[in-house]
Amino acid sequence: MKLVLLRRCELVKPSPFGGQGELLFAGIGCGLWFIALFFRLSVRDDSWTWMEKLVECIALVGFSGVPVFFFATPPGSRWVRSVLLKYDGLFFQLGICCALALYIFPVAYLGWDPNKFSWLGPLRRVISDTPFSFNAMAFLSAAFIVLRLPFLFLKLRSQPPLIKHISHISKLFSHHLEITIVLTLHLIACSVLITDGYLLGFAYIVVFLGMNLPFSRQPGCEQRLQVFDFFLVLTCLGAMILFSSLHFDFASFISVHLFIVVVMYGTGLGREHFGYSFQVRLMDLRYYLKITAIACIVLIPLTLGLQFNRPLSGIPSPMEIVTYLILFSFRVGVMEEILFRSGLMVFIRDSLYRWQKAPQSQNQLVIMSTVITAIIFGVFHFGNNPGDGSLLSELEFKAVYIFLGSIAATFYGLAFGETNRLWCSVFLHGLIDTTAVLLLKVPLTAPF
């Protein structure tokens, strides 16, 4: 399988992206995402009005798909560098907050149903039963602070770490006064807006301290991800907690956008280093067909043989299959593939480069990065619980789920390692999830 699926290993020696077709993919991807969401809302609940569906689909695709696809194009790349990274990301933070305001205030004042817009109820009482505008402005202020911190931390990457002794901690906070002030505001905001949010506030302070430890940055390793960058990614992911606490469906994508802008572009490593491209090449299309066939041959018999669920009853309609495929690929696949493949797998690759004592072959480097990432990916799905049709106990279900998830993630990693582009692993991810839910009745969380 290694010889069949790993020949080019483009992740090991990334080449510049040509950019051909990336803008077209972004447009088509956002269009398909919008149509699939609109269709799903129409068939799931006929109580949605035409205007409610339109606003919800525009918001979800606007906060999720448009940035993640556009930033992966040459014009998007130039825009991030020339606009969004200026003034410590001020335009990025203001853009997100203004877009949120344009979404939440009209929905609230039109009196739409909180059962449809699940964030509306929590936002109305985020502090207390004060006027909605007060609660909304408090949330937007907290969002601005959460979005600003990663950009402020980014400036530390080019500076020497200050903590060489425990007595240097007080000096660290006084030396970085702006960060200290924003961290304090962040602690207050999280404590007020999120249950047990003070823990998140203190976690950011611990991350700030970790960034300034001697081992976080190594001279001569600036062109690869370091321990400092791992801490930086954690601050990007932390934004997800604030937005998830109010049940925004696009919460995870806010963290993804932070990761793209701050880590991919802000560090100067560039999107080639992270395989951040959705360019579809003919040789990658042939590879996708090949790895998809092998993945199905391996995973479907395994899932059936392990008696994961009761046998299939009823065949889903073609439109249902297409809708699930699009939404699993874009809403789940894009988010998880960027974080696990462009994020974790690239970090492991760079770490192996630093730690290896003897040169490794390209195949070995991709395989090791893939397997380590796949195991972590599987373990991260430990929280999934069996559905009504499960034939296994809860513990057995979780063990089998981790096992199958790790095997599936191995195929995602091989696809990413071979092509150094995301679309192949994204659509493989979407296809496997769709097959698992619709044909094998595996209880995955639906992407809507």
Locus of tokens 């992407």? 447
pLDDT recorded at residue 395: 86
Q: Nearest 5°: phi and psi at 384? A: -70, 135
Determine the 3-state secondary structure of 442 from DSSP.
coil
Beta carbons of 41 and 78 less than 8 angstroms apart: no
Domain membership of residue 9 (yes or no) is no
428 with 299, same domain: the answer is yes
Whether residues 39 and 62 fall in one domain: yes
Are residues 166 and 31 both part of a single domain?
Answer: yes
217 token code pair: 């940055």
Residue-range definition of the domain harbouring residue 95: 20-274
Same domain (yes/no): 116, 257? yes
How far is CA 186 from each of CA 119, 147, 154, rounded to the nearest angstrom?
Answer: 21, 10, 17
- DSSP letter string, 289-340: HHHHHHHHHHHHHHHHHTT-BPPP-S---HHHHHHHHHHIIIIIIIHHHIII
Residue 13 maps to a domain: no
> Of the candidates 242, 274, 306, which is a domain's last residue?
274
Is 244 a domain residue? yes
Give the pLDDT of the chain (448 residues) as one tens digit per residue. 555 788 889 999 888 998 899 999 999 999 999 999 999 888 877 789 999 999 999 999 999 999 999 999 999 999 999 999 999 999 999 999 999 999 999 999 999 999 899 999 999 888 877 789 999 999 999 999 999 999 999 999 988 877 666 667 878 888 899 999 999 999 999 999 998 899 999 999 999 999 998 888 877 777 899 999 999 999 999 999 999 999 999 999 999 999 999 999 999 999 999 999 999 999 999 999 999 999 999 998 888 777 666 655 667 788 888 998 999 999 999 999 999 999 999 999 999 988 775 457 888 999 999 999 999 999 998 877 776 666 777 888 888 889 999 999 999 999 999 999 999 999 999 999 998 887 766 666 655 5
| Res 384: pLDDT | 75
- Residue 66 domain flag: yes
Query: In this structure, which amino acid lies at residue 85?
Result: L
**Which two three-digit tokens encode residue 35?**
């149509």
321 and 268 housed in the same domain:
no
Residue 104 lies in a domain: yes
Say whether both 119 and 252 belong to one domain.
Answer: yes
6 found inside a domain = no
How is residue 148 written in tokens? 């600003």
Do 88 and 55 fall into the same domain? yes
Residue 15 included in any domain: no
Residues 172 and 265 reside in one and the same domain:
yes
| Pair 89, 142 in one domain | yes
Residues 6+ apart with CB under 8 A from 142: 186, 189, 190, 192, 193, 242
From 250, 274, 298, give the residue that closes a domain. 274
Is residue 96 located within the same domain as residue 202? yes
Q: Is residue 303 within 8 Å of 436, Cβ to Cβ?
A: yes
Helix axes 318-327, 22-44, angle to 10 degrees: 120
pLDDT for res 49: 92
Classify residue 148: in a domain, yes or no: yes
Structural domains counted in the chain:
2
Domain end, chosen from 248, 274, 300, is at: 274
Examine the domain organization and report whether 265 and 371 are in the same domain. Answer: no
Q: Please give the DSSP secondary-structure letter assigned to residue 156.
A: G
Say if residue 269 is in the same domain as residue 289.
no
Instruction: Report the distance separating Cα 433 and Cα 323, nearest Å.
Output: 12
